[in-house]
Structure 1
Amino acid sequence: MTAILRAAVLLSVIVAAGYFYYIGDGRVSRTTDFRLPIREMRALTAQDGDQLPTTVAVEVVGRDHIPLGLAIAGKGLGHFSMARTAFLVSGPSGRILVDTGMPEDLAAKKQPGTSPVYDAPAQNRVARMMDEADIIVLTHEHWDHMGGLAHSDRLSSLIRKSVLSPSQIAALPALAGKPGPFWNGSSPKALDNSAPTKIAPGVVVMAAPGHTPGSQIIYVRLADGEEVLFIGDITFSIDGIRDVRHRPRLMQNVIMEPPEDRSAVAAQLRSLNTLYLAEPRLRIIPSHDSEHLNRLIRDGFLVDGF
């Protein structure tokens, strides 16, 4: 073998290994230390009866596209439609806003991918609901989930009804671009979510750090017996749970700021897959999966718009 051929083979091996490590490897361990305590969540809401929520609505405040292979490792260059969302859980006991979207100026700086679309009227409806909702809760502390709250000129009043984890509270000043704390004496409620914690009839939150330090899963039991898990960005696509596959390291370690905890997210994916197989009627909702959200709207489960 000539020196040139040996060098070419070596280069090919290095490129292939790099591609697999950073782009193609979506493997998740078959064992996990993370357990999603669905029984405990159900027990906390079992006596809520006629106070249970009745509807779940979604607002899509923006869309953009990324390569499918950045949403799920090894899936190639097809398009994945990223919905930027907020959800509203409503019932006799009040309204709970799950995530707060993103203001237009922040979206213009941050929205990645190709063909980004921003829906200002939809974000206006989310902003109105920040005022009208009884509780504001976040899946995690990223710009497209917390941005509407962090950039609101009414933050000092909204913070009083925002139920946030310590990590989410710590992230507010940087996202708002202000030194913190800056909420004029209106302290947010620091939620200890280390164990399943009920924040309203039918609504339970539990810490799930990994994608971000303040990531959490939000469980909702509805009056008609349906159940929902809002999982934020543990995976962008429901297929990440069905197929038990990670985002690629290129997304996790290079594009995301700060990098996410790959092993923690892997454990959550494995646990969610186990639950998905055992509980086919449980509605698991990743925040960004446009196709999955559209399917839930067509099925009549999600209400399209606030």
Structure 2
Amino acid sequence: MYILTGVVLAGIAAALIVFRSFRPAPLPAPAPWTGPLPDASPPADMAIYKLPTGTYENRAFLAYRGGAFRELRKFAATAVLVRHPAGDLLIDAGFGANVEAHIATMPSYRRTPHKPGDTVRDQLAATNYDMARLRGVVITHAHWDHVSGLAELDAPVWMNPAEGRYVDRAKDAMVFREVTSRREIHHYTFDGPPYLGFPGSHDVYGDGSVVIVEAGGHTDGSVVVFVSLPDGRRFAFIGDLTWQMEGVTLRAERPKMLRILADVHPTQVRDGLLRIIALAGRMHVVPAHDVRAYDPIPDWTAGRHSGV
């Protein structure tokens, strides 16, 4: 007869909790959004482009509940350029030239194999892009893999007050504080009405083509950026509400242990993800780290010519 000590029983219980947190457990399906989409009048020459700056690896089971243990996923570090006659805008900045040093600021258990590519600055310079056109960089949130490339971009960084408070206190904002120490911060507020279920909004150009909404939870001031194109297509750049498309297609949130480690307010992240799931049939959703999600967006440097 075996007698299990309290320590052993506690260990078994903890193991069961961890195991269960990785099992598939789809969120309840929200009612699809059936109302009209907000009005948007994007100019005829508006367009968006992706600028991949590298990838890093993670196991699928760490990315979403139900992911395969043996499956390796390449996580994207990609910026998106919005071309607009009133001035261009970047959504996130990807890896920068000092990405190795930025990764080294993370605890060892969070460093994964990675493959840097050309920085946003290098990709723009390769096409003789006029940097005076760049109105700013909207960050979905201030984590290193979204902001590393800011170091090489002489453009205002767009940030809302809640994310400013996160940056002031969070260890995970160390890289952001470093790369923006000599950068202009453009402070914006959610001065617009609720937008597609999100509580507040900011219309960047005043024409509905680019609307930032407050979607805090991953960080205090994390955001979703909605983009409407002149051909009628709509995109939702959702940052890290989920790391992979399965968060939307399978309604699979992060495993509980990862939610505790990665999210400031996990319940808010769940609420934001459910709002996006409800919209998924009406627009293309882009989780920041899913390489596949960028497929419909043309690459900036592919086939570009000097003088753009």
Structure 2 length-normalised TM: 0.76
Q: Which residue of 2 aligns with 1:215?
A: 222
Confirm or deny: 8 A CA contact 2:95 2:119 kept in the other structure: no
Point out the structure with the larger helix share. 1
SS at match of 1:75: coil
Check if 1:118 corresponds to 2:125. no
Q: Which amino acid aligns with 1:269?
A: L
CA distance in 2, matches of 1:130, 1:285: 26
Asked whether the equivalents of residues 230 and 284 of structure 1 are also in contact (C-alpha less than 8 Å), the reply is yes
- Helix, strand or coil at the partner of 2:251: coil
Match of 1:28, as an amino acid?
Answer: L
Structure 2 CA distance, aligned partners of 1:135 and 1:120? 20
CA RMSD of aligned residues (A): 3.5
Of 264, 267, 272, the residue aligned with 1:260 is 264
**Secondary structure at the residue paired with 2:238?**
strand
Aligned pair count reads: 277
Report how far residue 120 of structure 1 moved.
Answer: 3.3
Once residues 247 and 112 of structure 2 are traced to their aligned partners in structure 1, the CA distance between those partners, rounded to angstroms, is: 22
Pairwise CA distance, 1:42:
1.9
Residue pair 2:211, 2:225 contacting (<8 A) in 1 also: yes
Q: Which residue is equivalent to 1:42?
A: 38
Q: Which residue of 2 aligns with 1:166?
A: 161
CA distance in 2, matches of 1:130, 1:236: 30
Corresponding residue of 2:16: 16
Which amino acid letter does the alignment assign opposite residue 289 of structure 2? H
**CA distance, structure 1, for counterparts of residue 284 and residue 254 of structure 2:** 21
Would the alpha carbon gap of residues 4 and 285 (structure 1) be closer, same or farther in structure 2, given more than 3 Å must change? same
Over 3 Å counting, the alpha-carbon distance change for 1:241 and 1:117 in structure 2 is: same
Native 8 Å contact 1:54 1:224 kept in 2: no
Q: 1:130–1:69: structure 2 CA closer, same or farther, 3 Å change rule? A: farther
1:206 aligned partner = 213
Match of 1:233 in 2: 240
Cα pair distance change 1:169/1:124, threshold 3 Å: farther
Confirm or deny: 8 A CA contact 1:97 1:130 kept in the other structure. no
Shift of 1:123: 5.1
Report Cα offsets for 1:69-95 as digits up to 9, x if no partner: 111122121111101010011143332
Aligned counterparts of 2:45 and 2:260: Cα–Cα separation in 1? 38
2:298: which partner in 1? 303
- 1:173-192 map, 5 Å: 174-177=174-177, 183=182, 188-192=186-190
CA change 1:238–1:38 in 2 (3 A) is farther
Identity %: 21
Label 1:73 to 1:113 Cα distance change in 2 as closer, same or farther (>3 A). Answer: farther
The 1:19/1:56 distance shift into structure 2, 3 A limit, reads same
Paired with 1:18 and 1:31, the residues of 2 have a C-alpha distance of: 27
Match of 2:135 in 1: 134
1:124 CA drift (Å): 2.3
Tell me whether 1:251 sits opposite 2:244 in the alignment: no
Q: 1:130 to 1:176 in 2, by over 3 A?
A: farther
Q: Find the aligned partners of 1:208 and 1:303 in 2 and give their Cα distance.
A: 26
- Deviation, 1:291, is 2.5
Q: What amino acid is aligned across from residue 175 of structure 2 in structure 1?
A: L
How far apart are the structure 1 equivalents of 2:178 and 2:111?
A: 27
Cα-to-partner distance string for 1:258-277 (whole Å, 9 max, x where unaligned): x3321111112222112214
Deviations 1:238-295 (A, max 9, x none): 11111111111222223x3xx3321111112222112214x2xx111111101232xx
What corresponds to 1:88 in structure 2?
81
TM-score by length of 1: 0.76
Structure 1: distance between partners of 2:85 and 2:29: 42
Which letter does structure 2 place at the counterpart of 1:242?
T
| 1:97 aligns to 2:97 (yes or no) | no
1:54–1:223 contact (8 Å) kept in structure 2: yes
1:5-35 deviation digits (Å, cap 9, x = unpaired): 89988865552233213x3365535569xx9
The Cα shift of 1:135 comes to 3.3
Q: C-alpha distance in 1, partners of 2:153/2:252?
A: 40
